[in-house]
Amino acid sequence: MTTNTDTLCVDTGLRRCFGKASLYRQLLQRYLSQHATMPEQLADMYAREPALAARQAHSLISTAGSLGALGLCQLAAALEAAIEQGQMERTLALMQALALEHNALCVAAGRYLSAPHASP
């Protein structure tokens, strides 16, 4: 049994991992450990080097999509476009929305990983 929310569609993530629950858990754990401060890092990148922030947002599209974090995936795509188009106000608003969605994803992923069905 899987748990799907607006933030994390486990069914999608599992499909993208070819139904391999252990692989999916590894990807979620890696996301939590490697992307814990991603919103802050992205904001710092944008302040110093917008093109680098756009590339990071682009990377986040596939990472989030692989996890089934479709909302985060959509926000990352919109953020990349806003940065590339030089839309500063939209970029800042999207960064705030992305930070909220990222935090929600971290909570949802943690719940999934700690649930009995997520144990090895």
Does some domain include residue 98?
yes
Give residue-wise pLDDT tens across range 28-61: 999 999 999 999 999 999 999 999 999 999 999 9
Q: Which residues contact 120 (CB under 8 A, 6 or more apart)?
A: 22, 25
Residue 15 falls inside a structural domain: yes
Residue at 3 is within a domain: no
Cβ neighbours of 91 (radius 10 Å)? 24
- Residue 76, pLDDT > 90, answer yes
Q: What is the distance in angstroms between the CA of the first residue and the CA of the last residue of the chain?
A: 14
Query: Residue 83 belongs to what domain range?
Result: 10-115
Number of CB atoms found within 10 A of residue 56's CB = 19
Confirm whether 4 is domain-assigned: no
Residue 24 has what pLDDT? 96
Q: Is 83 a domain residue?
A: yes
Residue 4: left (phi > 0), alpha (psi -120 to 50), or beta? beta
Q: What is the pLDDT of residues 81-111, one digit of tens each?
A: 999 999 999 999 999 999 999 999 999 999 9
Tally of domains within the chain: 1
Confidence at residue 1, expressed as pLDDT on a 0 to 100 scale: 44
Between CA 55 and CA 46 the distance in angstroms is: 10
Query: Max CA-CA distance within the chain?
Result: 46
Separation CA 21–CA 2 (nearest Å): 10
